[in-house]
Chains A and B, each alone.
Chain A
Amino acid sequence: MSTTVADGPAAGVVGTRMRRREDPALLSGEARYVHDLVVPGALHMAVVRSPYAHARVTSVDLSGALASPGVAAAFSGAELAGEWSSPMPCAWPVTADMQAPSHLPVAVDEVCYVGDAVAAVVASSQAEAQDAAAAVAVAYEELPAAVDLEDAASDRVLAHSGLISNRAYTWELVPDADAVERAFAEAAVTVRERYVQQRLIPAAMEPRGVCVVPQPFGGEYVVYSATQIPHILRTMLGITAGVPEERIRVVAPSVGGGFGSKLDVYAEELLCLALARRLRKPVRWSEERSEAAQATIHGRGQVQEIELAADPHGRVLAVRVRLLADMGAYMQLVTPGVPLLGAFLYHGVYDVPAYAFTCTGVFTNKTPTDAYRGAGRPEATYAIERAIDAVARKIGADPQEVRRRNFIPADKFPYSSVAGLVFDSGNYEAALDAALELVGYEELREAQARRREEGATRLLGIGLSSYVEMCGLAPSRVLASLNYVAGGWEAATVRMLPTGKVQVVTGASPHGQGHVTSWSMIVADKLGVSPEDVEVLHSDTAVSPLGLDTYGSRSLSVGGTAIALAADRLIDKARLLAAHRLEVAPEDLELSAGQFSVQGSPSSAIGLGALAFEAFTAHDLPEGMEPNLEASATYDPTNFTFPFGTHVAVVEVDTETGKVDLVRYAAVDDCGNQINPLIVDGQVHGGIAQGVAQALFEEAVYDDEGNLLTTTFTDYLVPAASELPSFSLGRTVTPSPSNPMGVKGIGEAGTIAATPAVVNAVVDALSHLGVEEIAMPVTPERVWRSIGASAPGTGGGR
């Protein structure tokens, strides 16, 4: 299926393609998701949602619901207002003057998007709760809605009656304005492009779910939630619902994907907690698919304007970017910061001397946006990779050649970028070369020319995308400079049990990534045990009280590093114990495959398993040593990591129907050293599929009144395996110098790279007809129309 040209070195299990330990339980149905939990006596919640994008709530009549069979209680927003000690949290007020309307879990007098909660009903079954919710009579007075992003930015209609402008903030990064002006004034070539990042619906396989169980004594609550962030959620629930944090235990059971959509604190989590507190009963809620389309955050939603100034050879001298970013109706957890995660990357992999970026966040009467796989970086990569192709077209050069002319050279790393980052390591040209070879670039160009000459109706297009991203969120100090309210460290504990088995406790919170496999591989090599002997404990704040969870491709480079450091500390302690037992100095011992042996006399040795037992019995420890082999570490990275690579998409475009078939796809990624190349493959596969989805298939479509039209999978087209070719995967390995394992993130890279590669390929197929831009998703009708618009009389539409 896929070729891997360069797997990492494999001394122990690290670097091998070990199968995921998680999969048997997931594939056999043994894994338990929130909805699977059996909680006797639990009440089921249904949420009454606004059918209007913007309206005043004039009355909420609950009598019909209260008379409905099986109903335990029903509440309006006003009745619940006293439950909240603060509004819903936004952890990223990007500027000091950022506007953010108060956001309560249930609206009191004004609803601001279709799906905004207005009342909640609990009943003894989900069906009864839903029937009762339908019987709640809400009177609305409709208000004009701000739907279109650019229209909203004009403030013609305000998204909230309490706002004076829809503009939430403007954030700028302009290191040297004069330099940018000069570059544009003097440039031989300039391009100015406008791209629309359509809204996407994350559509995780498992929708959200919550179940809050009040404990019989002590006023404690166990919160089961399908979340990526049990730790952050615990703190935020405590603050927002006014429950002392230590009384809340958050457990994320098996979680079926998130892609950022479960990196949030949601109204339903707060509602279940508040209702469980009020009713002294477990309260649960399982999101439905169509509900998820409206009530779970959306991704993307930007209008981008990018300008490049270049010399006659296409060498880029300056990049100027203006963004409008759709916040939706409210600020969710990190809504305002998402565009900023891309703010530093609009020059992409290119050595650019002058840079100006500005972004305005705008409220609209639509579902809030927030982080979605890549979060800001796919948008940035899309803009620069499309624009660099525009430069290539303008100067008549091959797009791969223009990329080469602009790459940050391999000998310039660590590279201080014009936007103020230090790129850790890279070799962009090597990845480009490998990708071109993998896909057979020269032959494809010949085939493309042949088809054009023959006048074929199935044209060939080849699209490149060379990307770099910043991930491994994040150095806490950098986050502070961006006004993010939390840090970016991760915590871990490694302990050996009396029988020599190992427990790893991590603050990372997996939801499909294969962490258990990766963490046990790292620890297995450190301690000389087999991965099966390593138990990984996670996603339960009672077991792992410290952590900052999983997002931003951070778990390996930050959380994995914390685990490796904790294992090293455990070894340090074990070394002292071994020296004591073998009656030698600690420096005279060497560790290999879990055995400490005396240098020069290898027969004198003791294994870590035996030492664990000694440390457990504590019968004979060195003076002052505490029992047990256990160590903890908290790692705060010194820098982001900067994975990179080149992807090549090959499409066939049917000029008669406009249909685009993705026929070949080659990806060469560099995520530094690989713990498990099989897991890397999986991340790249899924990432590419999601990137292709944005390019060709998915779009959250709203009508002029602000109704979401794509609430089922018949209208919201998530591609399946049948829409994708087998991917050809390759890798180069450029270790990161900023963490001890030399690793970089790979969770988002595929998504970041794929979208521009595919759209570049479609435009490439049609460029000889004059087509330069087709809006995403590139639907058959849009392709057909663009052909007709560019070259009347060639059979296309108008």
Chain B
Amino acid sequence: MIPASFEYRRADSVEQALGWLSEDPDSTKLLAGGHSLLPLMKLRLATPGVLVDIGRVPGLSYVRDAGDHVAVGALTRHRDVEISDVARAHVPLLAHVAGQVGDPQVRHRGTIGGSIAHGDPASDLPAAVLALDGVLVIDGPRGRREVGAGDFFRGFLETALAPDEVLTEIRVRKAPRGWAFQKFNRRAQDWAIVGVAAVVNGGARVALVNMGATTVRARGTEEALAAGAGIAEAAARAPEGLEPPSDLQGSAEYRRHLATVLVRRALEEATASGG
């Protein structure tokens, strides 16, 4: 529970963080809320030589109405997303999901950027961003680029971010109605065994938590709905093509079953909420 020794630097700007990252990108790690990185370091599963703390970089914590979408600064804490009026009005799914992450301590420290950048398929916010057709804004030595959420999550704890880049903004499409989130776990503060984020207006998008190596879409369900299938029939196809993990909280077989139940419940709820 004591991390290996490392050097700590606190960045005052994204530019400074990028500069430090470029010195030795492979053994340098950005530190945001620390609620994913520090546990890994304490268990010595991560041993970065340099930590660049971006937690106090000004201007990266906001939730803004940007016309057809909402823009969220990467350093916005889960709790600030949860209680943001803009998020609640235009992307209530995102606000709701932020309120379901871990426990109050986690929500007051963890950031949306950290959650997305970490690329953990068991995390809740990536599924919400995927369901909301999100776009990730990335700054790096080669300038700024934008990556769609569908292309961002590459593998287990693996994303489109290069080691010398910083995620600065998360953009999500407005969806004031017709959404639902189902999180199934054994204790209130736990990670989801399976989770479902669904948006049904303008073509259903259904994203799943903990149903594969990355946050994934329930393509089978989406296709079935597009072809006019009913909710139950579409939900039954939720695990199609997916390879969920088996662990102490549930076997792959059980997760597949849960996905069908939870997707059905999510679609019913989303439809009832104005889909």
A residues at B contact (CB < 8 Å): 126-127, 130-131, 288-290, 656-657, 659, 697, 701, 709-710, 712, 714-715, 717, 719-720, 722-723, 779-781, 784-785, 797
Contacts of A784 in B (CB 8 A): 254, 257
Contacts of B191 in A (CB 8 A): 714
Give A15 Cβ to nearest chain B Cβ, in Å.
Answer: 37
Q: Given the known A-B contacts A288-B1, A290-B1, are A780 and B186 also in contact in the complex, defined by CB atoms under 8 Å?
A: yes
Give A118 Cβ to nearest chain B Cβ, in Å.
Answer: 19
Contacts of A781 in B (CB 8 A): 250-251, 254
Contact B257 A797 (CB under 8 A): yes
Give B250 Cβ to nearest chain A Cβ, in Å.
Answer: 5
A768 vs B191: C-alpha distance when bound (angstroms): 33
Contacts of B253 in A (CB 8 A): 797
16 contacts between A and B (CB under 8 A): A127-B5, A131-B4, A656-B261, A657-B261, A659-B184, A659-B186, A709-B248, A712-B43, A714-B191, A715-B248, A719-B187, A722-B187, A779-B249, A780-B193, A784-B257, A797-B257
B12 within 8 A of partner (CB): no
A717 vs B190: C-alpha distance when bound (angstroms): 9
Contact B261 A697 (CB under 8 A): no
- Extra contacts besides A127-B5, A712-B43 (6): CB < 8 Å: A657-B184, A657-B261, A659-B184, A717-B186, A722-B188, A780-B250
Give A357 Cβ to nearest chain B Cβ, in Å.
Answer: 34
B42-70 interface bits toward A, Cβ cutoff 8 Å, 1 = contact, 0 = none: 01000000000000000000000000000
B258 within 8 A of partner (CB): yes
Contact B187 A717 (CB under 8 A): yes
Q: Given the known A-B contacts A127-B2, A657-B261, are A720 and B248 also in contact in the complex, defined by CB atoms under 8 Å?
A: no
Contacts of B250 in A (CB 8 A): 780-781
Return the chain B residue nearest A286 by Cβ.
B1
Give A714 Cβ to nearest chain B Cβ, in Å.
Answer: 7
Which residue of A131, A715, A779 has the most chain B CB atoms within 10 A of its CB atom?
Answer: A779
Return the chain B residue nearest A719 by Cβ.
B187
Contacts of B2 in A (CB 8 A): 126-127, 130
Contact A697 B186 (CB under 8 A): yes
Contacts of A712 in B (CB 8 A): 43
B residues at A contact (CB < 8 Å): 1-2, 4-5, 43, 184, 186-191, 193, 248-251, 253-254, 257-258, 261-262
A90 vs B92: C-alpha distance when bound (angstroms): 60
A130 vs B44: C-alpha distance when bound (angstroms): 12
Contacts of A710 in B (CB 8 A): 248
Contacts of B188 in A (CB 8 A): 720, 722-723
Give B99 Cβ to nearest chain A Cβ, in Å.
Answer: 14
- Our pick among B1, B189, B193, B261 for the contact of A289 (Cβ within 8 Å) is B1
Which residue of B250, B253, B254, B262 has the most chain A CB atoms within 10 A of its CB atom?
Answer: B254
Contacts of A126 in B (CB 8 A): 2
A91 vs B54: C-alpha distance when bound (angstroms): 56
A797 vs B4: C-alpha distance when bound (angstroms): 45
Chain B, interface SS category: loop
A779 vs B1: C-alpha distance when bound (angstroms): 29
A105 vs B4: C-alpha distance when bound (angstroms): 28
Contacts of B193 in A (CB 8 A): 780
A659 vs B188: C-alpha distance when bound (angstroms): 13
A657 vs B249: C-alpha distance when bound (angstroms): 13
Contacts of B248 in A (CB 8 A): 701, 709-710, 715
Give B76 Cβ to nearest chain A Cβ, in Å.
Answer: 25
Contact B1 A720 (CB under 8 A): no
- Our pick among A127, A130, A659, A720 for the contact of B189 (Cβ within 8 Å) is A720
Q: Given the known A-B contacts A130-B2, A781-B251, A784-B257, are A722 and B189 also in contact in the complex, defined by CB atoms under 8 Å?
A: yes
Give B210 Cβ to nearest chain A Cβ, in Å.
Answer: 13
A714 vs B193: C-alpha distance when bound (angstroms): 12
Contacts of A131 in B (CB 8 A): 4
A715 vs B187: C-alpha distance when bound (angstroms): 11
Return the chain A residue nearest B265 by Cβ.
A656
Contacts of B186 in A (CB 8 A): 659, 697, 717, 779-780
- Our pick among B5, B184, B187, B251 for the contact of A723 (Cβ within 8 Å) is B187
Give A308 Cβ to nearest chain B Cβ, in Å.
Answer: 33
Which residue of A127, A131, A715, A780 has the most chain B CB atoms within 10 A of its CB atom?
Answer: A780
Q: Which 6 A-B pairs have the closest CB atoms?
A: A722-B188, A781-B254, A288-B1, A127-B2, A656-B261, A781-B250
Return the chain A residue nearest B255 by Cβ.
A781
Contacts of A723 in B (CB 8 A): 187-188
Return the chain A residue nearest B191 by Cβ.
A714
Contacts of A709 in B (CB 8 A): 248
Q: Given the known A-B contacts A290-B1, A709-B248, A715-B248, are A797 and B254 also in contact in the complex, defined by CB atoms under 8 Å?
A: yes
Contact B187 A720 (CB under 8 A): yes
Contacts of B254 in A (CB 8 A): 780-781, 784-785, 797
A717 vs B186: C-alpha distance when bound (angstroms): 8
Contacts of B257 in A (CB 8 A): 784, 797
Contacts of A722 in B (CB 8 A): 187-189
A199 vs B172: C-alpha distance when bound (angstroms): 46
Contacts of B251 in A (CB 8 A): 781
Give A655 Cβ to nearest chain B Cβ, in Å.
Answer: 10
Return the chain B residue nearest A289 by Cβ.
B1
Which residue of B43, B250, B257, B258 has the most chain A CB atoms within 10 A of its CB atom?
Answer: B257
Give A280 Cβ to nearest chain B Cβ, in Å.
Answer: 27
Contacts of A719 in B (CB 8 A): 187
Contact A697 B187 (CB under 8 A): yes
Give B11 Cβ to nearest chain A Cβ, in Å.
Answer: 25
Return the chain A residue nearest B184 by Cβ.
A657
Give B14 Cβ to nearest chain A Cβ, in Å.
Answer: 32
Return the chain B residue nearest A709 by Cβ.
B248
Contacts of A659 in B (CB 8 A): 184, 186
A785 vs B251: C-alpha distance when bound (angstroms): 11
A717 vs B189: C-alpha distance when bound (angstroms): 10
Give A720 Cβ to nearest chain B Cβ, in Å.
Answer: 6
Return the chain B residue nearest A798 by Cβ.
B253
Return the chain B residue nearest A712 by Cβ.
B43
A701 vs B253: C-alpha distance when bound (angstroms): 20
Contacts of A657 in B (CB 8 A): 184, 258, 261-262
A126 vs B261: C-alpha distance when bound (angstroms): 49
Contacts of B261 in A (CB 8 A): 656-657
Return the chain B residue nearest A659 by Cβ.
B184
Give A346 Cβ to nearest chain B Cβ, in Å.
Answer: 31
A656 vs B263: C-alpha distance when bound (angstroms): 12
A682 vs B189: C-alpha distance when bound (angstroms): 24
Give B103 Cβ to nearest chain A Cβ, in Å.
Answer: 9
Contacts of B184 in A (CB 8 A): 657, 659, 780
Contacts of B189 in A (CB 8 A): 720, 722
A785 vs B254: C-alpha distance when bound (angstroms): 9
Give B122 Cβ to nearest chain A Cβ, in Å.
Answer: 10
A720 vs B249: C-alpha distance when bound (angstroms): 17
